[in-house]
Amino acid sequence: MTTAMGIDVGGSGIKGAVVDTASGELLTERFRIATPSPSTPKAVAKAAARLVAKAQWAGPLGCTIPGVVRRGVVHTAANIAPSWVGTDAAALLHQATGLPSIVLNDADAAGVAEMRAGAGRGRAGVVLLLTFGTGIGSALFVDGLLVPNTELGHLQMWGGSAELKAAAQAKTREDLSWAKWARRVDKYLAYVERLFSPDLLIVGGGVSRDYHKWVPLLHPRAETVPARFRNNAGIVGAALLAAEENAAGPAGTSEGQAAG
């Protein structure tokens, strides 16, 4: 059995577990720590090290960040501290944990999990995963290949980033009914479908556990299904890619492996 640990950094919580990389199943409980405030690189790395200690883990480690990540370096930071921009997050995580580490965009990790072992497995064409949480994350695949760092939650709608009105946090913040929130999500999906014409939409994030309460209220053209791994998809995808890169050795890169 090949195993690795995945950590998923979100706007409100940091979650981690050890994963069976063949099946995507969690081998430990899902450990969670509240995201530090402010969520600076040093504070988040310290929290990640605490999760590693809780899991008693000493192998490959994959971690997600809600922002554009290129070869372990963070280039944008929407729902975490601005000081992340320019940070070599992979090096920081390695320094904090002593473990071989990779870092990638959170929704890209979730998408990899779903395409490898979840709701998108074996699907050709254009597949788009959208995660609804503090913001809206996105992972776009064309015939199984990842187009990294799409960040479609920041499409401009309603006078700003779409996620400010259509993320799950907006539902909570404004105390919206499922029906009212679903109307916003419907408008957002219509915009996304005009741009990418996906063959399959996969919806994930924390709100995917209540899939039956809001997805039937939507009217997308594409087939729409919940993420198999629900809100654990980021953990699973980060672990899968960490194990893969560790096996590939120094020549491997997380972005190349994700796209392959």
pLDDT in tens, the chain (260 residues): 799 999 999 988 999 999 999 999 999 999 999 999 999 999 999 999 999 999 999 999 999 999 999 999 999 998 899 999 999 999 999 999 999 999 999 999 999 999 999 999 999 999 999 999 999 999 999 999 999 999 999 999 999 999 999 999 999 999 999 999 999 999 999 999 999 999 999 999 989 999 999 999 999 999 999 999 999 999 999 999 999 999 987 533 344 334 33
Tell me the domain boundaries of the chain: 3-108+231-259, 123-228
Task: Count other C-beta atoms under 10 Å from residue 252's C-beta.
Answer: 14
Whether the CA torsion 173, 176, 182, 184 is positive or negative: it is negative
Q: Which of 168, 171, 123, 166 lies closest to 145 in space, CA to CA?
A: 123
* CA 17, chain centre distance (Å): 14
Is this structure's pTM higher than 0.75?
yes
For residue 116, the SS3 value is helix
CATH T-level assignment (fold) for domain 3-108+231-259: Nucleotidyltransferase; domain 5 (3.30.420)
Strands, DSSP E only, in the chain? 3-9, 13-20, 31-34, 61-65, 69-70, 73-74, 101-105, 126-132, 136-142, 145-147, 156-157, 160-161, 200-204, 223-226
- How confident is the model at residue 1, as a pLDDT? 77
Give phi and psi for 168, each to the nearest 5. -60, -30
Which residue matches tokens 């009217």?
219
Contact 188, 157 (CB under 8 A): yes
- How confident is the model at residue 250, as a pLDDT? 57
CATH for 123-228?
A: 3.30.420.40
Alpha-carbon distance 65 to 48, whole Å?
Answer: 12
∠ CA 22-6-84, nearest 5°, is: 145
